Amino acid sequence: MPRLILEATNIQKRYGEQAVLNIDRLRLYDGERVGLIGENGSGKSTLLAILAGELEPDSGAVRRYGPVAYIKQSGEARSQASARLSAEFRAPDAREGLSGGERTRRRIAGALSEGAALLLADEPTTDLDAAGVARLRLRLSQHTGALVLVSHDRALLDALCTRIIHLEGGAITDFPGGYAAYQQELERRRARQQFEYDQYRAERARLKASMQQKAEWALSVKKAPKRMGNSEARLHTREFTNAVLRQSSAKHKLEARMERLEVKERPRDLPQIKMALGASRPISAKIALSANCRSLSAGGRTLLGGASLMLPTGSRTALVGENGAGKTTLLRALRGEPSPGTRLDGEIRPNPGARLGWFDQDHEKTLDLDATALENARADSPLDESDVRTVLARLNLRGNDVFKPARVLSGGERAKLALAKLLVSDANVLLLDEPTNHLDLFAMRALEELLAGYGGTLLFVSHDRAFTSAVATRVMTLEGGRLSTFEGSLEKLEAEKNRDRSAEDRQLQITALEMRLAAIAARMSAPKKGDRPEELVEMYDAVAEELRKLKS
């Protein structure tokens, strides 16, 4: 049996009146790969901090049977990284002005350098580009101890995890297998819940109908006629009374069965949105925004030169590129509010009917922290309150949560609120910089669906591959100071690149074989000492046949 690495028992944690954690027991074993999932505000980061020893529970105990390393979601690295891991993750030295991706790489390199028996990772892909995520995925797969991973990256969870822990209502539920298996089990449980609910409703309706029938039968039994003799009347009265008692007894039995009937809850359905978001004030022209960029520089470094771009009305464009390529700088320039130290030589031409909406990592600046979530969302919205609440509910801000001041919401919940406020506004062109950062898996899937059906124009940056694949209809790549646009999905772009690489590799092989064939022909026409003509002919024929197959 694997060695026990950590055991937590009777863990309770409250913040004010709210009970965040109420966990009876959690055990982690050597070599386990555990994905910890739950909605924003459910207590995932709180639980990791308690397991790491950075936060004390109100009650309960955590026993650690080995060192624990912790990749925090934000802040500085806890440990000094080794030179090898610093170089591998391109983790810079500590200094002012580091980007989000650079700080993430420092935290990863520092934690991995500890070589701990248990690694806790809280959203370690935040602000990482595709290459950084791939490097992290490889390193985590090579980790020899136990791993607990909180991530909204479904591909990462599926690739690494052999166990899923779902945190909800302060308690945990275990699911064996990866994220895909967890999703299948959730669907199975939902189908079972729907079946039991349907059975419950059918049985309840049957019992009510039977009770009504018994009551009607009792009323239908006639009393004795007035002209009936005394003996006959007594007999009829006795029969009448017995019939009423029988029907009443049967009715009481049915009522008792109704009371004992176990109530089954209906599965929660996603609220349906009645209108296409972003379509309240459509743009009539074919182009929502265009730009001609002769040069774009930041901090004395040229990020882009000699480029032009267009956003067709109604398109959903993903802007992709490695960390530091200048994606956020370009988005801010298109918005018309470039970052400090940025220099743009060019023209940005939004359509006169375009109303730009903006989301970035400083999204909390758009919120009134003293106003409620509902008041924030409705502040700039032309939609009815019911439609606004539907969008909030789709992002898992529902019930009494919409009446809470934004100040008391968690960071992830504020991100949901800022996104909801933007989606229900009168904006018809959205520029989104990493909208999935800090969202839980459930909210991210809901956001995918909302944006995939968005009625306006969309340009977004996201390092989440699944999200980009689900939302984008075209891809814009910023790489090496050049901007290129592909009219199609991310999958089609990658297939095209793979075909191009295959064609390039095939041409290199053809060239090499042609050179080899020419060398053999030269030797055949002027044999050297030791050459055997029959062997040269065989070599020539073999190479020629290989070349023919490759060309065909």
pLDDT tens-digit readout, 417-430 = 999 999 999 999 99
3-state secondary structure at position 289: strand
Q: Is the pLDDT of residue 235 over 60?
A: no
Q: Does domain 4-177 have CATH number 3.40.50.2300?
A: no
- Reading the block at residue 66, the tokens are 């080995």
Give the integer Cα–Cα distance in Å for 94 and 374: 40
To the nearest 10°, report the CA torsion of 534, 539, 542, 543: -150
- Residues with Cβ within 8 Å of 185's Cβ and at least 6 positions away in sequence, in order, are 175, 177
Structure confidence by residue, pLDDT tens digits, 37-81? 998 888 999 999 999 999 999 999 999 999 999 999 888 888 888
3-state secondary structure at position 458: strand
Give the integer Cα–Cα distance in Å for 202 and 209: 11
Provide the whole-model pTM.
Answer: 0.68
- Residues with Cβ within 8 Å of 215's Cβ and at least 6 positions away in sequence, in order, are 247, 251
Structure confidence by residue, pLDDT tens digits, 19-36? 899 999 999 999 999 999
Q: Does domain 287-488 have CATH number 3.40.50.300?
A: yes
Instruction: Over range 247-273, report the average pLDDT.
Output: 65
Q: Where are the chain's structural domains? A: 4-177, 186-260, 287-488, 494-551
Among residues 84, 92, 91, which one has the least CA distance to residue 108?
Answer: 91
- Reading the block at residue 238, the tokens are 């006795």
Do 4-177 and 287-488 come out as alike in CATH topology?
yes
Is residue 457 within 8 Å of residue 465, measured between CB atoms? no
DSSP annotation of 372 reads B
What is the pLDDT confidence band of residue 116, given thresholds at 50, 70 and 90? very high
Q: Is the pLDDT of residue 297 over 80?
A: yes
* pLDDT score of 263: 67
* pLDDT score of 299: 78
Q: Is the pLDDT of residue 295 over 80?
A: yes
Give the integer Cα–Cα distance in Å for 133 and 332: 24
Judge residue 532's burial from the number of C-beta atoms within 10 Å of its C-beta, 0-12 exposed, 13-18 middle, 19 or more buried.
exposed
Q: Is the pLDDT of residue 207 over 80?
A: no
The residue assigned the tokens 């074919």 is 286
Q: Is the pLDDT of residue 475 over 90?
A: yes
Q: Is the pLDDT of residue 229 over 60?
A: no
